[in-house]
Structure 1
């Protein structure tokens, strides 16, 4: 993105754009070659067996091409069909249902994390500044994820120049991640949950003397117990996923923990320069967040233990739900009913730093709402190739469309692609951006109303969103910000993608 004003004025940024592939109708390379192949086959059949057989062959091949051309929310017809087949196959095998706990068939009566999180392991290390940090290992992808608690400062009573500087510093964080060889993703998570009042009660106890007057103690504790009613608290965190780049780190989590511990203070300093105070979360803190997300009823117990400094006693291999069921458009887990949406298209117009404010802010009608923004920086060499290819494709599109509105739109695409090249030459990075929204409510909740509320918030933020049909459980796990990067777990052949 690029700023369009001076540093002392409100800045507007160009929204992200997807690199275009100017094949047949803008389709991907494999699809383009498939279409060309159907034309060649039809012509050969026509020359060999005549018009009738050639027409029949061409019609059949055309029907095979149509699902690739017709896209909805970025998915081809083949993608939607294959996803549906996989989902119904899982239903038939009852793989969408999970039961854990003492009376289940799980080894040791554990409540292990289900689905894509099942193979993960939790480790703990210490960085060079002396902070303990939890480290989640995803063996399938050889990835390690650390999570940091975050306290955004907000922009109230802050000079415009400082706000612009914070935005610029965050851009430096993302660009710097692309210069490394092992940062796979950076995922800020804005999580809202009902306010329990535990923290306020703990503070009230800490400042109240045993011999204080009864009336004074009554006033303090009454305020602490009454203040949190109908309130919603915001808990922010930032997850960073690293790829193990050596055989030693792939096999030995301890070696990866040493590497992360060496770099973590520098990463913290870079993020804090963008106006967000951060601290590494311990293994126990991460486990508590995960358990609370799967089992909303456990929030009070976990917060009480953390407020008093006690151990909540939940281990990583026991942090999952007692039961869960993945449905077509919902995810049921331990008395909770969650729905996750993903961003299918970002803002088409210019944006500023407050574009997502209404979506991430606490909402009284959506007390359990989680917004995860997924940044996946491209490697520096890959970014150059992607931007250059996009520029060439934009020029080809402009040359092919020489009249009317299409021509004007194509020319704008060329200008945007050229600006991206200029920004890359100045040291900016190229980053893939995704966004997930998860809302958790009781089983009896009015989901159509919640769907309307979330849709309205998305429209206000210039976002196009859609439900994560057929993979609600995986999307729920991805929005937690604990190392699940959905494209790395895709089951879709690349030849069928748009």
Structure 2
């Protein structure tokens, strides 16, 4: 009797984008170093004292660029973050009050912060299904939201899981060829089951003349089952932009998106997404409303089961009041804290590396894990891959000892990336955000411990989004908020820093 070893595929080979410039200085810091050297050398021709007078401030300005945190931020960026927080707090921007008793015009409950100027529209796709479109007027972006019910990995053959992973990678690579696509995100939301759907399914079917024991058993199932179960929802957001200089009517952009929805849904179904469907504007508003006020989740489910819908509009999807602090975000009936990924899992991982993080966390009201993707067009991908390949070859041939061994490993990874890109694979920048919502501030400490355990099991390093909790909370909602599109400094300049 012989046994055959079954090898499971592993995944990895992701790396941070290489920062241009010398070491931690960045491109701007490198230009500053060389420019400062030229100025100091010219001043030294006049006198040594003049050269010292110029060298001291240049060193003082460039030194903070060499001080980097684990996620790559320099000292200037850290100081800017704190100054921005102090300015918002001094102006009272960390407080938000809406509704008829507030000073805001209209007297409605519009979502706060980055979502305050967003508007919602609705259209129908080629199969006559309604879908909502969120318009971000500040950047002239349009977002569609797709929902799906993934099949899960329980009782599924490993070969089928590998096929799903491959098809999901193919779906992501296709995003680079989507005209006008600026970014995409996958949000997995988990929460304790309220038992509303189970009650609406079972209780109306209990006959009056049924045996007493049978009725008591079914009623006990309805009462006790939700305490040990959870509900999970998966949303995919796709955010499109209009090329600069073009003035396309809003109706024309929405009509263009309606043509793309069926093809995107078919790709999700093939990648293990199960039943995939577009979300209507009402359904998007319901998701945002429940995120800001988790206590109304059961009421929303009741209204949908009894009336077929809630009739909720986007202008009433926000909270009545919010308070942002350094480490948390208080909103209506919940308190949330958001974490940002600083380092992806090192080495190779299995396809189930994030399973523990995606499952429901005990002791929390709601939990959302958002994977944010930024597709890179094929031309830019080829240039980036080739630059990384040349840089890795240079480091491998110029180092010694342990540095040379590490550079050789990086060169092999760069060669593999170049080979895969040449064979048709796409290049995507990605990040991960996690939001935990509890009932009170006192429960955040236990929730933080649970998050540390989840991230450690998934081999992901994360840090709290301190002093930007409100913005980070909005980024984990299925509303198409792309972090790199919301910065005052252009993304190209930030990469140069």
TM tier, smaller:
over 0.9
User: Could you say which residue in structure 1 is the equivalent of 2:34?
Assistant: 36
Q: Cα RMSD between the aligned structures?
A: 2.0
Q: Hey, what's the Cα distance between the residues in 2 that align with 1:272 and 1:53?
A: 69
Q: Hey, what's the Cα distance between the residues in 2 that align with 1:26 and 1:429?
A: 28
C-alpha spacing 1:22/1:122, structure 2 compared with 1 (3 Å) = closer
Q: Does 1:259 align with 2:259?
A: no
Shift of 1:157: 2.0
Shift of 1:359: 0.6
C-alpha spacing 1:124/1:210, structure 2 compared with 1 (3 Å) = farther
Count residues in correspondence: 488
Shift of 1:305: 1.0
User: Could you say which residue in structure 1 is the equivalent of 2:439?
Assistant: 442
Structure 2: where are the runs of 5+ without partners?
1-5
User: Could you say which residue in structure 1 is the equivalent of 2:342?
Assistant: 344
Shift of 1:208: 3.1
Bigger shift: residues 290-299 or 156-165 = 156-165
User: Could you say which residue in structure 2 is the equivalent of 1:3?
Assistant: none
Shift of 1:210: 5.7
User: Could you say which residue in structure 2 is the equivalent of 1:78?
Assistant: 76
Are the counterparts in 2 of residues 31 and 496 from structure 1 also a CA contact under 8 Å? no
C-alpha spacing 1:246/1:18, structure 2 compared with 1 (3 Å) = closer
Are the counterparts in 1 of residues 339 and 435 from structure 2 also a CA contact under 8 Å? yes
Q: Hey, what's the Cα distance between the residues in 2 that align with 1:297 and 1:260?
A: 34
User: Could you say which residue in structure 2 is the equivalent of 1:184?
Assistant: 182
Structure 1: where are the runs of 5+ without partners?
1-7
User: Could you say which residue in structure 1 is the equivalent of 2:217?
Assistant: 219
Q: Hey, what's the Cα distance between the residues in 2 that align with 1:146 and 1:66?
A: 44
Shift of 1:323: 0.8
Are the counterparts in 2 of residues 232 and 363 from structure 1 also a CA contact under 8 Å? no
SS at structure 2 position matched to 1:141:
coil
Q: Does 1:427 align with 2:424?
A: yes
Q: Hey, what's the Cα distance between the residues in 2 that align with 1:126 and 1:484?
A: 23
SS at structure 2 position matched to 1:109:
coil
C-alpha spacing 1:212/1:133, structure 2 compared with 1 (3 Å) = farther
Bigger shift: residues 426-435 or 54-63 = 54-63
Bigger shift: residues 15-24 or 409-418 = 15-24
Q: Hey, what's the Cα distance between the residues in 1 that align with 2:332 and 2:364?
A: 18
C-alpha spacing 1:114/1:327, structure 2 compared with 1 (3 Å) = same
- From 199, 202, 205, the equivalent of 2:200 is 202
Are the counterparts in 2 of residues 341 and 467 from structure 1 also a CA contact under 8 Å? yes
User: Could you say which residue in structure 2 is the equivalent of 1:4?
Assistant: none
Shift of 1:36: 1.4
Q: Hey, what's the Cα distance between the residues in 1 that align with 2:280 and 2:210?
A: 36
Bigger shift: residues 234-243 or 270-279 = 234-243
User: Could you say which residue in structure 2 is the equivalent of 1:398?
Assistant: 396
SS at structure 2 position matched to 1:431:
strand
After TM superposition, the structure 1 = structure 2 runs for residues 91-106 of structure 1, keeping only pairs within 5 Å, are: 91-106=89-104
Are the counterparts in 1 of residues 284 and 478 from structure 2 also a CA contact under 8 Å? no
Are the counterparts in 1 of residues 192 and 360 from structure 2 also a CA contact under 8 Å? no
User: Could you say which residue in structure 2 is the equivalent of 1:164?
Assistant: 162
Q: Does 1:271 align with 2:268?
A: yes
Shift of 1:215: 5.2
User: Could you say which residue in structure 1 is the equivalent of 2:88?
Assistant: 90
